[in-house]
Amino acid sequence: MVVSTEVAPNPDKEYEVVDGQLEEKVMGGARHGGVGMRLAARIAMYVEANRLGGVYGPDTTFRIGRNDRLPDVSFVSADRIPPEGEPEGIWEIAPDLAVEIISPNDLYEKVTSKVLEYLAAGVQQVWLISPEHRTLTIYFSPTQTQILTEADELVCEDLLPGFRCLIRDLFRNPGKS
Report the number of distinct structural domains present in the chain. 1
When mean pLDDT is compared across 11-15, 41-45, 156-160, the lowest value belongs to 11-15
How far is 148 from 116, CA to CA, in rounded Å? 19
Look up the domain containing 132 and give its range.
28-170
Write the CATH number for 66: 3.90.1570.10
Mean local confidence (pLDDT), 25-51: 86
Predicted confidence (pLDDT) per residue in 55-103, tens digit: 999 999 999 989 999 999 999 999 999 999 999 999 999 999 999 999 8
Query: DSSP 3-state helix, strand, coil percentages of the chain (rounded to 5)?
Result: 25, 30, 45
**92 within some domain:** yes
Strands 125-130 and 97-101: what pairing?
parallel
Higher pLDDT, 70 or 2: 70
Residue type, 37: M
**14 within some domain:** no
**12 within some domain:** no
pLDDT value for 20: 73
pLDDT value for 104: 81
How far is 138 from 159, CA to CA, in rounded Å? 12
**5 within some domain:** no
pLDDT value for 77: 98
**162 within some domain:** yes
Direct distance between the N- and C-terminal alpha carbons of the chain, in angstroms, rounded to an integer = 38
**What contacts 169, CB < 8 A, 6 or more positions away?**
38, 42
**32 within some domain:** yes
Residue 123 has pLDDT above 80, yes or no: yes
pLDDT value for 2: 39
